[in-house]
Structure 1
């Protein structure tokens, strides 16, 4: 499927219109076997979790409710520059002496 559309944001509320089109044979969508759909979506996103309700103009009466959760990649670890200092076991902390 390919998807294209537009959205409008007003505070933490959003609306969107998304058109879908099948480019390869495959499974039916949640709306059935329609190969081309126009989805009208309304939702809110007060943080990193958005909830929405969508309807398809081609399938009257069917409603899709969903939740989207933003995932973020962990920051990249910077590459080491220069050499690491030589290991010196004498610099390790000493354990307390135990009495027997």
Structure 2
């Protein structure tokens, strides 16, 4: 069964590899990396996962791992547990295989409260040992 939430994504093609963040909630995907944004849809049924993902450049920088920036990726894989794994291809670059691993990002509900700051006037500095 696939959990809804935020995932760290690692992906590769024969042209290289990259990382990003994706949010999977209610059958929708949104996310991105330093250069591309991702939007799309997904379905998880049992331990099978399918997705249709579109990419779009939002910042100048390194080239896409497919060549073109704007792509439509068809993905399928396994969501038996962690990590979620999938493979697929882009319609715009059908001969370029794509693999991805998604790691669920745990949220910690018990975030420690920050320690109170002391004013600099109340801090006692040690006396120098040289004179």
Question: Match of 1:52?
Answer: 86
Cα offsets for 1:29-85 (capped at 9, x unmatched)? 2112x1200000101111121110020100121111122222313341577xxxxxx
Unaligned runs of 5+ in 2: 1-35, 114-131
Aligned length, in residue pairs: 78
**Is residue 63 of structure 1 aligned with residue 63 of structure 2?**
no
Question: Match of 2:121?
Answer: none
Question: Match of 1:23?
Answer: 58
* Greater CA drift, 70-79 or 55-64: 70-79
Alignment of 1:1-100 (within 5 A): 1-32=36-67, 34-76=68-110
Bigger relative contact order, structure 1 or 2, given CA contacts below 8 A and separation 6+? 2
Q: Once superposed, which parts of structure 1, at least 4 consecutive aligned residues long, lie more than 3 Å away? A: none
TM superposition score normalised by structure 2: 0.54
Unaligned runs of 5+ in 1: 80-100
CA–CA separation in structure 2 for the residues paired with 1:76 and 1:13:
32
